[in-house]
Amino acid sequence: MSFFPDEVIIEVLARLPIKPLFKTKTVCKLWYGLPSDKYFIKLYNQVSDKNPMVLVEVHDSTKPTSSLICVDNSRGASEFSLDFLRDKVNIRASCNGLLCCSSIAVKGVYYVCNPMTREFKVLPKIKDQNLTRFYPDSEATLVGLACDPSRGKFDVVLAGYQCAGSSHRPDKTFACLIFDSDSNKWRKFVSFQEENFTHMNRNQVVYVNSALHWLTGSGSYILVLDLNFEVWRKVSVPDETRYGMGNRVYLLESDGCLSLIEISDTRMKIWVMKDYERELWHMADRVSLGCIKGLVHGIFPIAQTGECIFLATHKQVLVYHRTSRAWKEMYSVQNNATLPLWFSAHAFRTSIFPCA
């Protein structure tokens, strides 16, 4: 290895998967300290940004527990586990390599974890239980995770309509709880919203420009939580999608920008917000869906970069390469899946961001 300067070695190591990277710590002092070095963490995360993945939860009717599959564009599919949490959980949000999970057994218990390094943090319980009683099932309508590697911190957002007393009916106030990893505390503010969200809208929360974004159930605009000022606001969608002919619309991130995916019976349009301040949308691509005609009505976009886009169906994960205009099946369920893959699919990327 003496033939290569340290700078070249570091660039090579930054392209390793997490497990092989941590195994190299035994080679020498330089390599041992890399996973905790700020420059290397930044470099590793920048490299991983170019390799999006999809996490899918596979529910098998013949097994008591579900399994998690990570679908990687370059390495294929691999199974991994959240057993280090020692709790049965639902993945509620994903951001820059971290996951926010809610406990199934104990309402109101949340974890933030890095599934690759197996580090995790149990968020402090909220003393006033009324603050966590959201309509209609006592769980937050919206759960957002904002992981900012440049600042070395993360925020967790729980938001929804608060229940009034024991009636479990909303009292028209939209409560928002924000956990700050720096202070290790929750804070709350209340506003008034009249929004509905589909299951996919709730799952596809996008963190860009220091704000969390959710597409509303009607698809007519995007609800935004500005974390710098702790205020809700609305962002417009392209006029063509707002007044479209019943096409399906989904919210994703694309290389640090907001992106909308519009799907009709024959075509998929990819919109990217190039100017965030002026809310200017640009149509980045038009994709013919003729090659997957039989799957169109059950296909959902999950993650993307400027080069490719991942989509999930009932039993498959597909990737579309925008340069070659080629479709490829990356994963297929072979068992008796009880829920479609898109129901619990999340965008993901590897990271060595510490969260403990």
pLDDT tens digit sequence for 141-168: 899 999 988 888 999 999 988 776 555 5
Question: What are the start-end ranges of the H helices in the chain?
Answer: 6-13, 18-23, 29-33, 38-48, 199-203, 239-242
Domain-embedded: residue 356: no
- Give the CA distances from residue 268 to residues 3, 271, 325, in Å, rounded to whole numbers and listed in that order: 49, 10, 12
pLDDT in tens, the chain (356 residues): 457 777 888 888 887 877 777 777 777 877 777 877 888 888 887 887 778 899 998 876 666 667 888 998 877 888 888 999 999 999 999 999 999 999 988 888 999 999 988 999 999 988 766 666 776 667 788 999 999 888 889 999 999 887 765 555 556 678 899 999 999 999 999 888 878 888 888 889 999 999 999 999 888 899 999 999 999 999 999 988 876 667 899 999 998 999 999 999 999 999 999 999 999 999 999 999 999 989 999 999 999 988 999 999 989 999 999 999 999 999 998 766 668 888 889 999 888 888 87
Running DSSP on this structure, what letter comes out for residue 14? T
Considering the domain architecture, whether residues 137 and 257 belong to the same structural domain is answered as yes
Dump the DSSP string for 97-112. Answer: TEEEEEESSSTT-EEE
Considering the domain architecture, whether residues 134 and 211 belong to the same structural domain is answered as yes
Considering the domain architecture, whether residues 23 and 91 belong to the same structural domain is answered as no
Considering the domain architecture, whether residues 29 and 41 belong to the same structural domain is answered as no
Report helix, strand or coil for 2: coil
Q: Which of 144, 205, 199 is nearest to 340 (CA)?
A: 199
At 210-267, the pLDDT tens digits run: 999 999 988 889 999 999 999 999 999 998 887 666 789 999 999 899 999 999 999 9
Considering the domain architecture, whether residues 4 and 41 belong to the same structural domain is answered as no
Considering the domain architecture, whether residues 132 and 10 belong to the same structural domain is answered as no
CATH code (residue 236): 2.120.10.80
Domain-embedded: residue 353: no
Place of tokens 């070659």: 324
Domain-embedded: residue 18: yes
Considering the domain architecture, whether residues 44 and 24 belong to the same structural domain is answered as no
Asked whether the bond before 238 is cis by omega within 30 degrees of 0, the reply is no
Considering the domain architecture, whether residues 80 and 221 belong to the same structural domain is answered as yes
Domain with 1, as residue range(s), is 1-36
Domain-embedded: residue 289: yes
Considering the domain architecture, whether residues 117 and 15 belong to the same structural domain is answered as no
- Give the CA distances from residue 232 to residues 92, 214, 224, 229, in Å, rounded to whole numbers and listed in that order: 20, 11, 6, 9
Domain-embedded: residue 131: yes
Considering the domain architecture, whether residues 27 and 53 belong to the same structural domain is answered as no
Considering the domain architecture, whether residues 21 and 71 belong to the same structural domain is answered as no
Domain-embedded: residue 267: yes
In whole angstroms, what is the distance from residue 97 CA to residue 101 CA? 13
Enumerate the β-bridge partners of residue 102.
90, 110
Considering the domain architecture, whether residues 222 and 302 belong to the same structural domain is answered as yes
Number of domains in the chain: 2
pTM for the whole structure:
0.90
Domain-embedded: residue 355: no
Domain-embedded: residue 354: no
CB 258 within 8 A of CB 213: yes
